[in-house]
A and B are shown apart, each in its own frame.
Chain A
Amino acid sequence: MVTAQLPASVEERVGFDPDAQLLITVPKPSIGVEEEPLSHEAAARPSEGALTKPTWRVLEPERDTPTGAGADVGEWRAQIGMAVGGIWSAAWPTFRAAEIRPKLLPAPRLVIERQAKALLTSRVREVIQPLVAIAQTQALRSHLHVTSMVVRPFVDPDDDSRELILEIHVSALPAQGLAYWDGLGATLNTYRDTLPAATAAILGDRVSVHVVWPSSDGNGV
């Protein structure tokens, strides 16, 4: 059951980390799951008019930093368009296939590292946006808490290749984290099958999904 009306757009709180990171938090509700049998899928899905086309952009501190009296240094509000409706729309086939019923729940913090910006093309964003929603959904199914998600670049000097990694940070033991990763992978396998070939190829070729759990102390080395 849809528990709230999807907003036409999402106003997000945006903070700037001086340590070369762009921090994006989404205090408004996002997508989660309610594990019930689907009996009224059509009723549960928001109308097309309620969906918002996703329009991501990485914030430019020079352009987006607030000015004038009252401006909170390091934090400001801006319209970003990682709209919940857009994610919902893109991920819907997966939810339906997995008999997951979306509802509105708090979203984890999403961090886009500054160096990732150059690799965040519009097509890559179209792939990453549903991944964020699917990862959160899978976490709820697995009863895990996603503490944050990080999009960061990776350069392989041996292959001279560059790609993005979507890191999903979970609060879990290693075995739980791996089990979550396997479940998420199974869902993404299904989701990828619904995508056009060129879009599906981006997953793996230009974007990898990693799950990160708190490391043990090891032996301190």
Chain B
Amino acid sequence: MAMAFNPLDFSNLARTLAAGSASEAVYRTAVGRLYYSLHLVARDRLALTAKQMKKEGGYHKAVVNRVTKKDVATGGQLDLLRVLRIEADYHLQPSSPQFANWGANYQTADLIATKILPRIQRLK
């Protein structure tokens, strides 16, 4: 059986990308990889099944909700990463002025991901 993929490799990839060429596409991609890194770690720690997540609002919302129920701040911070990921992947124009600068968006995502990763790894 193949070894399971380590979601933290997504974080490493994000930081490698962001340390290279500074383009909006790079930052958008890096933000998305940071989010998925945290999302997958949280999902595994919470042992959520696809059926449960679907029942609880969807694959992304369910994970954020479960984390929020344990800690409002960590859940909110993961939710901001989720919002930034949606912004990165779907919005060609910023949905809000605060998301207009992708260098800043990446910095925010990196700061939050670094901060909440240990908390998410301790989720029970």
- Cα–Cα distance between A181 and B23 once the two chains are bound (Å): 29
Q: Is B107 a contact of A216 with CB atoms below 8 Å?
A: yes
A100 part of interface (Cβ distance < 8 Å) = no
B74 part of interface (Cβ distance < 8 Å) = yes
Specify which of A156, A208, A210, A221 is in contact with B101 (CB 8 Å cutoff). Answer: A221
| 5 cross-chain pairs, A with B, having the tightest CB-CB distances, nearest first | A218-B103, A185-B73, A159-B58, A204-B68, A215-B104
Name 18 interchain pairs, CB-CB below 8 A, sorted by A: A157-B90, A159-B59, A160-B58, A165-B83, A174-B111, A185-B76, A204-B75, A208-B64, A208-B75, A210-B76, A215-B105, A215-B107, A218-B103, A218-B105, A221-B22, A221-B24, A221-B27, A221-B102
Q: Is B76 a contact of A181 with CB atoms below 8 Å?
A: yes
Q: Is B71 a contact of A221 with CB atoms below 8 Å?
A: no
* Chain A proximity of B116: nearest CB distance (Å): 9
Chain B positions within 8 Å of A, measured between CB atoms, are 22-24, 27, 57-61, 64-65, 68-69, 71-77, 79-80, 82-83, 86, 90, 96, 98, 101-108, 111-112, 115
> Which of B23, B27, B72, B79 has the most CB atoms of chain A within a 10 A radius of its CB?
B72
Specify which of B57, B64, B69, B108 is in contact with A215 (CB 8 Å cutoff). Answer: B108
Q: Is B68 a contact of A212 with CB atoms below 8 Å?
A: no
* Chain A proximity of B111: nearest CB distance (Å): 6
Residues of B within 8 A of A215 (CB): 98, 101, 104-105, 107-108
Interface of A is mostly: mixed
Using a Cβ–Cβ cut-off of 8 Å, how many residues does chain A contribute to the interface with B? 36
Q: Is B58 a contact of A156 with CB atoms below 8 Å?
A: yes
A78 part of interface (Cβ distance < 8 Å) = no
Q: Mark A104-116, 1 if CB is under 8 A from B, else 0.
A: 0000000000000
- Cα–Cα distance between A161 and B59 once the two chains are bound (Å): 10
Interface of B is mostly: helix
Specify which of A152, A161, A178, A186 is in contact with B61 (CB 8 Å cutoff). Answer: A161
Residues of B within 8 A of A186 (CB): 73
Q: Mark A142-177, 1 if CB is under 8 A from B, else 0.
A: 000000000010101111110101010000001000
* Chain B proximity of A171: nearest CB distance (Å): 14
* Chain A proximity of B97: nearest CB distance (Å): 10
Q: Is A189 a contact of B59 with CB atoms below 8 Å?
A: no
Residues of B within 8 A of A152 (CB): 96
Q: Is B22 a contact of A219 with CB atoms below 8 Å?
A: yes
Q: Is A156 a contact of B76 with CB atoms below 8 Å?
A: no
Residues of A within 8 A of B69 (CB): 204
Q: Is B101 a contact of A217 with CB atoms below 8 Å?
A: yes
Residues of A within 8 A of B107 (CB): 174, 215-216, 218
Residues of A within 8 A of B73 (CB): 181-182, 184-186, 188
A221 touching B103 in the complex, CB below 8 Å, given contacts A174-B108, A181-B73, A208-B68: yes
Q: Is A218 a contact of B76 with CB atoms below 8 Å?
A: no
Residues of B within 8 A of A184 (CB): 72-73
